[in-house]
Amino acid sequence: MKVYIIGTGLIGGSFALDIQQEYPEAVIYGVDLNAQHIKEALECGVIHEEASFEDLQNADVVFLTIPVDVALSVLPKVLDIIQDNALVIDVGSTKQRICEVVKEHPKRRNFLAAHPIAGTEFSGPKAALRGLYKQKTNIICEVEKTAFKLQEKALDIFSKIGMRIRYMDAVSHDKHIAYVSHLSHISSFMLGKTVIDKEKNERDIFDMAGSGFESTVRLAKSSPAMWTPIFEQNKENIVETLDEYIGNLKQFKKLMEEHKFDQVFEEMQQTNHISTILKGIK
Amino acid sequence: MKVYIIGTGLIGGSFALDIQQEYPEAVIYGVDLNAQHIKEALECGVIHEEASFEDLQNADVVFLTIPVDVALSVLPKVLDIIQDNALVIDVGSTKQRICEVVKEHPKRRNFLAAHPIAGTEFSGPKAALRGLYKQKTNIICEVEKTAFKLQEKALDIFSKIGMRIRYMDAVSHDKHIAYVSHLSHISSFMLGKTVIDKEKNERDIFDMAGSGFESTVRLAKSSPAMWTPIFEQNKENIVETLDEYIGNLKQFKKLMEEHKFDQVFEEMQQTNHISTILKGIK
């Protein structure tokens, strides 16, 4: 099996490592405009060989693991070049636009739109982790538009690397993921900004920060190059989540200002059952 | 050494476990109005014996590990009852009000105001952890108001259980801790609320949540009974942090609405160096 990873970063690199483990005969090719990434991916054993875009005509499976804005222009070109029996999987964090862009493509049935809910706040080939996808959810959109045999091939890969599959339409995916992922990133970036702005002249203050602060601002280490196009593509949904989040924060502040601490207690108690909801998330 | 823990929860219980380890001859007494907590604390080996409030006259060291509103009324009574050479340590997350309340107490020099920056989102004696305080920061306020010999005794304990000490006045403590701790808790609770409100009829959606969401809402599992009085005592500082946080979120939303994604990128990139700041936080 010849597997081409377009974009040899954390996400693509982690797929490469798991596929090497599960398919010992697979040869992993890396396609990346960033020569440094190719060099590192070869050094870390993430890919076996460098490849050019034209080599994609030899691919059995292509993973498109690049920022979602670049993916919009690259995916149609990938579909143009591949053979009739090749499978192309994109793994971006937004699904509506990418599905639209290839809706009428003659090779639409070679494409599978996926979103593996996995990652870390780090990026690049060195951040790739074996087992990153184990027990993680993989959302597949518009599965009926992918050729049956290629669905099977994709599910075989996802199953071997231990992922749980959920099916969803692309519009619903983008709406819900704004709440359970994109909003978290913005809340974390803005929390980091608020504290850094305030304490920039008093660096010792960060000695006072504990694991709670670390946990809430962890996502503020994420790559702006990856996240800016995600926020752009999912703008309407995210603005809606921000409106609701800001509204809730204002309401909480108002309760504090009016010294209604019985209601402050209530607000927190009603949210405590997040612990039940979170069970099962790793 | 006779050590009395008033409030046998996560914080008090974890001190008890570490002191047992470092001072094998110490006897740990638990004082708690909650009979279930005393029962559990005995079962888990967190305390050796139950004690009454009156028994505090036999104490060498007293840890006051109860919600900060209760501490305001209990601390003066503890100082009233103890012997002249006993040390009383309070570990609440706000320091200004507790220092004020005993400012004129005849046994002020028996009291040490501390804030160990450690904890988890869990509570109760079963949540107590050995080693919780290792390498964690402990902020001591108004150290000069504590008798020198009792400062020494306290530092011996904190040093043996592995804590790093920082000194600060109580007003500065409350101002800065609002940014690096209290704000994180509110941002997390309101994030949890926003998502639960939106998705309450679609519980499957939480299958889409990954480790990023889990990380940002982890603190929303925290105890409202513990946090409500903290928010009340530190109201002015927290309202200020909320104003700034809400302002930053609104600004980010405006950039998105105006489609200024180059500035969205800048905002995130400028916050990325939080990763440097966080180094060293566990």
DSSP for B25-68 reads T-EEEEE-S-HHHHHHHHHTTS-SEE--GGGGGG-SEEEE-S-H
Nearest residue of B to residue A183 by CA position?
B191
Enter the DSSP assignment of B2: E
Answer yes or no: is pLDDT of A93 > 90: yes
Among A155, A124, A132, CA closest to A14: A132
Cβ-defined contact of B253 to A246 (cutoff 8 Å): yes
**In which band, very low, low, confident or very high, does the pLDDT at B277 lie, cut at 50, 70 and 90?**
confident
Please give the average per-residue pLDDT across B212-238, as a whole number. Answer: 94
Contact criterion met (CB below 8 Å) for B258 and A207:
no
Report the C-alpha gap between A223 and A219 in whole angstroms.
9
Report the C-alpha gap between B78 and B80 in whole angstroms.
5
Please give the average per-residue pLDDT across A141-155, as a whole number. Answer: 98
Report the C-alpha gap between B275 and A28 in whole angstroms.
32
Residue A136, φ and ψ in degrees, nearest 5? -95, 155
Please give the average per-residue pLDDT across A34-46, as a whole number. Answer: 96
Helix (H) / strand (E) element for B277: namely: helix B274-278
Cα four-point dihedral sign B232, B76, B81, B119:
positive
Give pLDDT, residue B105.
Answer: 98
> Does residue B133 belong to the interface with chain A, where contact is any CB pair within 8 Å?
no
Answer yes or no: is pLDDT of A8 > 80: yes
Answer yes or no: is pLDDT of B229 > 50: yes
A193 → closest Cβ in B119, B206, B267: B267
**In which band, very low, low, confident or very high, does the pLDDT at B282 lie, cut at 50, 70 and 90?**
very low
B246 vs B273, more confident: B246
Domains of chain B plus CATH, in order, are: 2-168 (3.40.50.720), 173-278 (1.10.3660.10)
Per DSSP, what are the bridge partners of residue A2? A27
Residue B53, φ and ψ in degrees, nearest 5? -60, -35
Give pLDDT, residue B119.
Answer: 86
Residue B162, φ and ψ in degrees, nearest 5? 90, 20
Among A170, A175, A174, A116, CA closest to A145: A170
CA distances to A93, A96, A194, A274 from A146, rounded to whole Å, are 19, 16, 45, 36
Per DSSP, what are the bridge partners of residue B31? B6
Instruction: Give tens-digit pLDDT for B88-134.
Output: 999 999 999 999 999 999 999 999 999 999 988 888 999 999 999 99
Contact criterion met (CB below 8 Å) for B238 and A256:
yes
Task: List the 238-277 stretch of A: residues with Cβ below 8 A of B.
Answer: 238-239, 241-246, 248-250, 252-253, 256-257, 259, 261, 264-265, 267-275, 277
Report the C-alpha gap between A226 and B261 in whole angstroms.
12
Task: List the 170-229 stretch of A: residues with Cβ below 8 A of B.
Answer: 173, 176-177, 179-181, 183-199, 202-222, 224-225, 227-229
- How many beta-carbon contacts under 8 Å exist across A and B? 307
Cβ-defined contact of B217 to A244 (cutoff 8 Å): no
Give pLDDT, residue A282.
Answer: 46
Q: Contacts of residue A210 in chain B, CB cutoff 8 Å?
A: 117-119, 136-137, 180-181, 281
Q: Which of A34-48, A180-194, A266-280, B140-154 has the lowest mean pLDDT?
A: A266-280
Average pLDDT, chain B: 95
**In which band, very low, low, confident or very high, does the pLDDT at B202 lie, cut at 50, 70 and 90?**
low
**In which band, very low, low, confident or very high, does the pLDDT at A203 lie, cut at 50, 70 and 90?**
low
The alpha carbon of residue A25 and the mean position of all alpha carbons in its chain are separated, in whole angstroms, by 27
Please give the average per-residue pLDDT across A22-35, as a whole number. Answer: 97
Give pLDDT, residue B207.
Answer: 80
